[in-house]
Each structure stands twice: as C-alpha cells, then as structure tokens.
Amino acid sequence: MQIVRSIGSVVSAAVTLSVLAVVGWFGWSVYQHGMDFRAVSTRTAAVSSGWLSDTDALAKAAVSGAGVRPTSLSARLFTDAGAAPVTSYAVDGDALVLRVVTSRCIAASLVVDVIETSVSVEVLVHAERPWLPAGWSLNGRTAPCADSPVALRETAQLSAPLGERIVVDGVTGASVGAR
C-alpha cells in the first residue's frame, strides 16, 4: 500500500510540473508577443511624429526621394521584433509592393504595419511573433532563413492611393525611393 501511495505522489508531481511547464511556455510566448507589439507601436509613433514635425525633411524627401531622415530621429536602426528595412517600393493601385532585405533567420511570417498620414506612408516590416509558443503556427508560413542577405517582396495595402505622399521605412526612419 505504501508503494502505491509513493507512485501516486510521483505521478501527481509529474503531472503538476508538466502543467506548470506548459502554462509557463504559453505565458512566455504571450509576454514576448506583448513586448514586440509595444516596441513596434512605440517606434511607429516616433517615426510618424518625427516626419510630421519636420517640414524641411518632408520638402527634401519630396524632391530627392530616398535617404532623407528627420533631424529628430536617431540614425540607430530599429531591430526589435525581427524588423527588416525596406529598400524600395513599387505602386500597384492602392498597394505598395515593398522590397525588403533580411539577413537572418526569421522563424515566423513577416507582417507589414502601415501608418498613413496626409503627407507620408510609414511601413514597418517585422516578424510576426504570435502568442502561440515557438513551433506552433496558425498559418504555416515562415520566412526564409539564409546566411547571406535575402531580398523579399511584401505587399502593404493602403486606404487611398499613394499620390504625392512619401514612403518612409520604420526601421531606418528614412524616406524610401521608388524602383
């Protein structure tokens, strides 16, 4: 009888530890998703604010195209959340086809956050970190993994045609030229 109680205690402890491990795994994934969301939201707000408050940069970008950055934004690249810089774009109706260069493994789909104002369209391409733990996927898509830089194409749907607005990369904070 003593052996049965001991086995029951060991099984109970193993089940409890397994449940705690799974709950912790999900909890960590949810935490990481939340931190990525916060970092992306903070960055897009800073870039949009920088462009809206720097009329000189807007005027220069309208004339010269790529590589203009508002003076209030640092030159430091935003690399949180698996962000990848946009190097050029093409207009396709109410959509932008973005050329993105990534040079590291991203074990998730890429997503494009778009912030539209009357003078600019900010695009921030980053890895989607779902709330599900690593290895679980809702859509089964993953981005390529390579040792050298890989050029990808991502599409960003706009609420209105681009028109005279400038395109801004959320990673660099700089304007992007059309190809």
Number of domain units in the chain: 1
- 64 in a structural domain: yes
55-64 and 2-53 are packed helices; what angle lies between their axes, rounded to 10 degrees? 80
pLDDT value for 135: 57
CB 63 within 8 A of CB 176: no
**Predicted model pTM:** 0.76
Contact 90, 97 (CB under 8 A): yes
Low-confidence ranges of the chain (pLDDT < 70): 103-108, 129-148
Residue 40 lies in a domain: yes
pLDDT of residue 150: 74
- pLDDT reported for residue 146: 59
Task: Return the pLDDT at 152.
Answer: 82
- Going by C-alpha positions, the residue among 52, 32, 36, 37 that lies closest to residue 173 is 52
**146 located within any domain:** yes
Does residue 139 sit within a domain?
Answer: yes
Number of H helices, E strands in the chain: 2, 7
pLDDT value at residue 91: 95
Report the pLDDT value the prediction gives residue 96, as an integer from 0 to 100.
96
Residue 127: what pLDDT?
A: 80
Three-state SS for 80?
Answer: helix
Asked whether 166 and 61 are in contact (CB, 8 A), the reply is: yes
- Estimate to the nearest angstrom the gap between the alpha carbon of 157 and the chain centroid: 16
pLDDT on residue 129: 67
pLDDT given for residue 5 in this prediction: 76
Residue 28 in any domain: the answer is: no
In one letter, which amino acid is 113?
D
**Position 159 in a domain:** yes
Residue 119 structural domain: 33-176
Q: Does residue 119 form part of some domain?
A: yes
What's the confidence (pLDDT) of residue 83?
86
pLDDT of amino acid 147: 63
Residues 6+ apart with CB under 8 A from 79: 171
pLDDT of residue 144: 52
Element at 10 (helix H, strand E): helix 2-53
The verdict on residue 6 lying in a domain is no
Q: List CB contacts of 168: < 8 A, sequence separation 6 or more.
A: 47, 51, 120, 121, 122, 123, 174, 175, 176
> Token pair of 60, please?
């220069």
Residue identified by tokens 């949180």 is 80
Q: Is 109 helix (H, G, I), strand (E, B) or coil?
A: coil
Note the pLDDT of residue 65.
83
Length reported for the chain: 179
pLDDT of residue 70: 94
Coil, helix or strand at residue 86: strand
